[in-house]
Amino acid sequence: MKKEKEVLIYSGFERFWHWAQAGLMLFLAFSGFEIHGAYSFLGFGEAVRYHNIAAYLLIVLIAFAIFWHFTTGEWRQYVPTTQHIRAQLEYYVFGIFRNAPHPTKKTVLCKLNPLQKLTYFGLKVFLIPATLVSGLLYLFYRHPAGGGIETLTITSLNTVAIVHTACAFALAAFVIVHLYLTTTGKTVTSNLKAMLTGFEDLEGSGCEPAGK
Partner 1 sequence: MKKPIIIVASLCLSGVVLMGTLSGKDVDQGTLEKLKAKYAAKHLPSADHAAFDALKKKFTSPRQVTEACISCHNKRHLEVMSSNHWNWEREEYVEGRGVVYLGKKNAINNFCISAGGNEKSCAKCHIGFGLDAKGKEYSDPKSVDCLVCPDNSDTYAKAPDEAGAPAAALDLNAIAQSVGRPKRANCGVCHFFGGGGNNVKHGDLEKALFEPGRELDVHMASPGANLQCVDCHTSEKHNISGKLYSLSSMNQNRSTCDQCHTAAPHADGVLNEHTLKVACQTCHIPSYARANATKMFWDWSTAGKLRNGKPYIEEDSMGNHAYMSIKGSFTWEKDVKPDYIWFNGTASHYLGGDKIEDPSKPLALNPLYGSYADEDSKIIPVKIHRASQPYDPVNKILIKPQLFGDKKGEGAYWKDFNWQTAAKVGMKTAGLPFSGKVDFLKTEMYWPVNHMVAPKEESVKCQECHAREGGRLAGLNDFYLPGRNYSAPVEAGGKWLLILSLLGVLAHGAGRLISGRKNGENK
Give me the residues that bind partner 1 (CB under 8 A), please: 15-16, 19-20, 22-24, 27, 35-37, 40, 43-46, 48-50, 52-54, 57, 61, 92, 96-99, 142-146, 149, 155-158, 161-162, 165-166, 168-170, 172-173, 176-177, 179-180, 183-184, 196-199
**Burial of residue 134 (number of CB atoms within 10 Å: 0-12, 13-18, 19+):** buried
Least distance from C-beta 79 to partner 1, angstroms?
A: 26
CA torsion sign for 165, 170, 176, 178 is negative
Nearer to partner 1, 44 or 67 (CB): 44
- State CA 64 to chain mean position distance: 15
**Burial of residue 162 (number of CB atoms within 10 Å: 0-12, 13-18, 19+):** exposed
Least distance from C-beta 32 to partner 1, angstroms?
A: 10
Under 8 Å between Cβ of 47 and 29: no
Nearer to partner 1, 20 or 133 (CB): 20
Least distance from C-beta 203 to partner 1, angstroms?
A: 22
Least distance from C-beta 192 to partner 1, angstroms?
A: 10
Q: Which runs of E-coded beta strand occur in the chain?
A: 5-8, 141-142, 152-153, 199-202
Nearer to partner 1, 58 or 110 (CB): 58
Beta-carbon count within 10 A of 77 CB:
18
Least distance from C-beta 176 to partner 1, angstroms?
A: 4
Nearer to partner 1, 66 or 145 (CB): 145
